[in-house]
Amino acid sequence: MPRERLAALGRTHCPLSRPEPRYGPGMAAERLRDQGLRIGEFEAGPRNSITDVEGVTVGHVTVRRDEPDPPGGRGVARTGVTAIVPGSLDGLVRTPIRAGTAVLNGAGELTGSIQIAEWGCIETPVYLTSTMAVGRIYDGAVAAAVASDPSVGTENFVIPVVGECDDGWLNDARTVQVEAQDVSRALGKAGKDVEEGAVGAGTGMICFGWKGGIGTASRVVGGAAVGVLALTNFGAPKQLRIDGVPVGRLLEQPPPGRETPAGSCIVVIATDAPLGGHSLTRLARRAGLGLGRTGSVGHHGSGEIFVALSTAQGPEAQDFDRNAFFAAAVDATEESVLNSLWAAEDVEGRAGRIIRALPREPVLELLRRERRIDAA
């Protein structure tokens, strides 16, 4: 194929095209909470999102293209980048914020996690992407940090935080489909409204055999917010549970597509309470309980890796209700996973493979039958 033709073939980054809503007017934009589902006892924040935490914004770049297989083209791209930004870049480099990490199963990567464990702080946004694209996004994160603060590389060094999940079932990972510049694009799009489902880093992800991706939720504890964003790419179909209901076993039709459960999940927890590194490490660990509620068993080949951070400045809180914060993190993690499933639409990827969205009406009927939501 001529090089000019290749250059014209979808090398731009475009929004994810979505089919018409499948279930009636306005329902595609709703979440399970809008149907009456309540996870836990704490109230959600106004957006029910990680961006309810003061200072946190989120930006996505979705990469979709359809080219011939390598070497004639770059293949089919169903991937992207998601940036969770806990403040201005120049402020993060000069004044890192407190953070902690935890691992449930370690078949994955979160760069910068060793420094977070050692120093109890984070100095860049958290970037999420495809497994084999970590290096390219790391390069872009360094470039973004240098552009925001001239001291980087001369007076200061920076170790970006990049997490990954494997989207290779739908996305042609032989060619790294994202660009380093996608980091600055994601940062430029960062805002308070967070799109969920098959978007950004979640474009090619699969959760419990259904289409997964990006999900987010929050809880209010006293005067503070605890927010979660999850990149979901884990679990076997029969293991899916929604508020304790074994939906995966009760659905009459199993999802077609990938049968292997491995794939990973990255969970980012943020709070505007002034918690220290040790407390944030403990908070991050609770994400594993939230995944367990949805049916995760931490499969051998799956990387469940968590990072928690605080946007608050000033002295660390010494006297606070740890149990309330732990419960909030567990509940918001569980709901984030469910939101990632509920928002996603069918996605066709490489080799004609299709991952279906979770069937909403059958799921709602099961939840009504088990009295998790009111009868229609």
Domain boundaries, the chain: 33-369
The third-level CATH classification (topology) of the domain covering 33-369 is: L-amino peptidase D-ALA esterase/amidase (3.60.70)
Tell me what pLDDT residue 372 has.
97
**Does the pLDDT value for residue 338 go beyond 60?**
yes
Local structure of residue 369 (DSSP, 8 states): H
Contact 180, 140 (CB under 8 A): yes
How far is CA 78 from its chain centroid?
15
Kind and range of the H or E run holding 220 = strand 213-221
Model confidence at 4, pLDDT cuts 50, 70, 90, reads: very low
Model confidence at 17, pLDDT cuts 50, 70, 90, reads: very low
Give the least confident one: 28-37, 74-83, 159-168, 254-263: 254-263
DSSP 250-278: H-SSPPPS-------EEEEEEESS---HH
Strand 161-165 relative to strand 126-130, pairing: parallel
Mean pLDDT for 245-261 is 87
Beta-carbon count within 10 A of 22 CB? 13
Model confidence at 257, pLDDT cuts 50, 70, 90, reads: confident
Tell me what pLDDT residue 29 has.
56
Q: 3-class DSSP state for residue 185?
A: helix
Model confidence at 115, pLDDT cuts 50, 70, 90, reads: very high
pLDDT-above-90 percentage for the chain: 86
Closest CA to 49 of 177, 230, 186, 202: 230
Local structure of residue 15 (DSSP, 8 states): P
Mean pLDDT for 118-128 is 98
Residue type, 3: R
Tell me what pLDDT residue 376 has.
62
Model confidence at 340, pLDDT cuts 50, 70, 90, reads: very high
Sole residue written with tokens 């367990």: 292
| Crossing angle for the helix pair 277-285 and 287-294, to the nearest 10 degrees | 10
> What are the residue numbers of the active site?
264, 302, 304
Phi, psi at 9, each rounded to 5°: -90, 85
Mean pLDDT for 83-90 is 95
Q: How far is it, in rounded angstroms, from Cα 367 to Cα 376?
A: 11
Mean pLDDT for 208-225 is 97
In the numeric block, which tokens belong to residue 276? 């220290």
Closest CA to 185 of 7, 14, 307: 14
pTM: 0.92
Residue 114 CB-density burial (10 A; 0-12 exposed, 13-18 middle, 19+ buried): exposed
Phi, psi at 164, each rounded to 5°: -145, 155
Q: How far is it, in rounded angstroms, from Cα 181 to Cα 51?
A: 24
